[in-house]
């Protein structure tokens, strides 16, 4: 009998009010049933939000350093259970163990980084323009925050959102992706063990159309933080706009790696392979366009194809495997659709392009590492987010051409340039329209103490991680203290 998991509401583990449940299966082996999770609805959301609303007034008064100490304990527990969580995550969503260990490590890093911010959480002091008057700004919590997170980083992304939200004094409701509910359960169990009070963190499983939509529309939710597709992000922004509700959106990407003729090609190939096929291409920062100078395009294509054909595909629990499955059948069908689109548009398929179902992979959603060349910048495979192991090679003739091609999509999340020319590197840093730029590194590999996010259709301008995340989860309050003992009129009494 498979395990039965529950929601976490007001400090108690509870089934959905409807008693309905959904299956969670291993994408590397459809016969492996991980468990059943609550198929929640708006009734469960109401209960979760009510619990958060009730817990918020007391939690906001806990001193920020003490809140930070709780989050630091969460980091210690994540480190203690790292291997167990990583193995469960690989079983649940497919990426290989070295990557799921890295996913948990991001949660650990975030906990320790955020925990330390409890003794900072800086505001500002500034001189007042009038005598015997003091001026400063401080951060204040917002209230109940809805966190709607994706499946591809089921520990890293929830912790990016949750830990800063909690440190600022907010209460939260987490709605994880339906494909990765187990990792969310493990995170909340650790929060419970670390001593987070009942109601401060609540977990509601279920479909986005029901649980996510109910959270976004709920009148007692003051903030929505969402990571996912641009299409869903637009709908969330519209609903939140009508309610004047704060919303943070981290959406898609169509990231490009530029390789100039003076690049270290071996290094550039390693970066492209890791950026394109790490997590089976299922990252918002994945390298999906390789923008290569024509003088080295042929050689680099040959090197890439040779290496891509050797990538070991299979169950990520095997330490020798380098690439796991896609998350589900719908994802595999989407990738197949884009293979047909690329061929129809006139791109040349160099390798891959089909499912991988041999041997032990027969019961999973595996796909071959795929590379196209002769891709034009305006082709759909060069413009639309595929979210799979598909790399499109675009030839360019100059540095200026490379920048134009990289900037030619609707997205602007991550970018990369390989060159040994320091002038080109700095011009790329200046001219690329993206939230993240790597020099001589792939488009993946963000660190938790720097801002994460992008421009254009990649989001609505907020940045997670780093210190900028506190501008999402806190309100600024300006404070003036007049100790002159008389009425002083700013901009009037001090005017010439």
Provide mean pLDDT across the span 49-76. 98
Give the closest residue to 297 by CA, choosing from 271, 264, 260, 270. Answer: 260
Give the span between the Cα atoms of 65 and 81, in whole angstroms.
25
**Could you count the other beta carbons within 10 Å of the beta carbon of residue 265?**
17
Provide mean pLDDT across the span 128-139. 97
Provide mean pLDDT across the span 182-186. 98
Q: Are 227 and 147 in contact (CB under 8 A)?
A: no
Tokens 């629990």, located at residue: 317
Residue 488, C-beta contacts closer than 8 angstroms, at least 6 positions apart: 130, 131, 133, 482
Q: What percent of the chain has pLDDT over 70?
A: 100
Q: What percent of the chain has pLDDT over 90?
A: 98
Sheet order of strands, 144-148 included: 12-14, 7-9, 201-203, 171-175, 144-148, 223-227, 246-250
pLDDT in tens, 265-321: 999 999 999 999 999 999 999 999 999 999 999 999 999 999 999 999 999 999 999
pLDDT in tens, 355-410: 999 899 999 999 999 999 999 999 999 999 999 999 999 999 999 999 999 999 99
Provide mean pLDDT across the span 155-182. 98
Give the span between the Cα atoms of 221 and 292, in whole angstroms.
47
User: Domains of the chain, with CATH numbers?
Assistant: 3-251+459-478 (3.40.605.10), 255-439 (3.40.309.10)
pLDDT of residue 496: 66
- 476 has pLDDT over 70: yes
**Could you count the other beta carbons within 10 Å of the beta carbon of residue 217?**
17
CA 273 to chain centre: 21
Distances (CA, A) of 406 to 14, 43, 64, 252, 335: 48, 46, 42, 15, 22
Sheet order of strands, 287-293 included: 348-351, 370-373, 390-396, 287-293, 255-259, 414-418, 436-439
Q: Are 417 and 258 in contact (CB under 8 A)?
A: yes
Confidence class for position 495, pLDDT limits 50, 70, 90:
confident
pLDDT in tens, 77-133: 999 999 999 999 999 999 999 999 999 999 999 999 999 999 999 999 999 999 999
pLDDT in tens, 295-310: 999 999 999 999 999 9
Show which residues are catalytic.
250, 284
Confidence class for position 1, pLDDT limits 50, 70, 90:
low
Provide mean pLDDT across the span 130-140. 97
Give the closest residue to 170 by CA, choosing from 75, 6, 76, 49. Answer: 49
Query: In the numeric block, which tokens belong to residue 145?
Result: 């925050």
- 241 has pLDDT over 70: yes
- 179 has pLDDT over 70: yes
pLDDT of residue 275: 98
Mean residue pLDDT of the chain comes to 97
- State the DSSP H helix or E strand holding residue 305, giving kind and residue range, or none if neither: helix 294-308
Give the closest residue to 135 by CA, choosing from 477, 493, 488, 478. Answer: 478
Convert 165-186 to b/e letters by CB count within 10 Å (16 or more is b). Answer: bbbbbbbbbbbbbbbbbbbbbb
């Amino acid at each position: 009998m498979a395990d039965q998991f529950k929601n976490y509401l007001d400090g108690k583990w509870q089934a959905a009010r409807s008693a309905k449940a959904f299956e969670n299966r291993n994408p590397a082996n459809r016969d492996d049933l991980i468990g059943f999770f609550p198929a929640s609805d708006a009734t469960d959301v109401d209960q979760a939000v009510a619990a958060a609303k009730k817990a918020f007034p007391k939690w906001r008064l806990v001193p920020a350093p003490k809140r930070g100490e709780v989050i630091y304990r969460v980091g210690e527990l994540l480190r203690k259970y790292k291997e167990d969580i990583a193995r469960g995550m690989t079983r649940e969503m497919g990426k290989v163990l070295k990557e799921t260990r890295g996913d948990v490590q991001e949660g650990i890093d975030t906990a320790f980084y955020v925990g330390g911010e409890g003794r900072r959480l800086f505001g500002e002091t500034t001189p007042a323009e009038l005598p015997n008057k003091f001026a400063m700004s401080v951060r204040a919590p917002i209230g109940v925050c809805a966190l709607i997170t994706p499946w591809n980083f089921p520990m890293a992304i929830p912790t990016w959102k949750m830990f800063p939200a909690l440190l600022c004094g907010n209460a939260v409701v987490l709605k994880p992706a339906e494909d990765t509910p187990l990792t969310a359960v493990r995170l909340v169990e650790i929060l419970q063990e670390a001593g987070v009070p009942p109601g401060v963190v609540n977990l509601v499983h279920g479909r986005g159309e029901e649980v996510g939509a109910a959270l976004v529309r709920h009148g007692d939710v003051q903030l929505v933080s969402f990571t996912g597709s641009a299409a869903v992000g637009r709908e969330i922004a519209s609903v939140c706009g009508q309610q004047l509700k704060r919303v943070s959106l981290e959406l898609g990407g169509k990231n490009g790696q530029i390789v100039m003729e003076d690049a270290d090609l071996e290094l550039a190939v390693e970066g492209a392979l890791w950026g394109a096929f790490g997590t089976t291409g299922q990252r918002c920062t994945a390298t999906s366009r390789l923008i290569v100078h024509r003088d080295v395009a042929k050689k680099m294509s040959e090197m890439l194809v040779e290496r891509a054909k050797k990538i070991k595909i299979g169950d990520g629990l095997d330490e020798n495997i380098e690439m796991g499955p896609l998350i589900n059948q719908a994802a595999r069908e989407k990738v197949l659709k884009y293979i047909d689109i690329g061929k129809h548009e006139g791109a040349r398929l160099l390798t891959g392009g089909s499912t991988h179902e041999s041997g032990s992979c027969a019961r999973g959603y595996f796909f071959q590492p795929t590379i196209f060349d002769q891709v034009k910048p305006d082709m759909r495979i060069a413009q639309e987010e595929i979210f799979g192991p598909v790399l499109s090679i675009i030839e360019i003739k100059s540095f200026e051409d490379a920048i134009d091609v990289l900037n030619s999509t609707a997205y602007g999340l991550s970018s990369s340039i390989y060159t040994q020319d320091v002038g080109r590197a700095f011009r790329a840093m200046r001219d690329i329209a993206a939230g993240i730029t790597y020099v001589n590194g792939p488009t993946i590999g963000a660190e938790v103490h720097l801002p994460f996010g992008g421009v254009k259709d990649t989001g609505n301008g907020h940045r997670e991680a780093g210190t900028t995340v506190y501008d999402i989860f806190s309100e600024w309050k300006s404070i003036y203290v007049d100790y002159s003992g008389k009425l002083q009129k700013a901009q009037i009494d001090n005017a010439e």
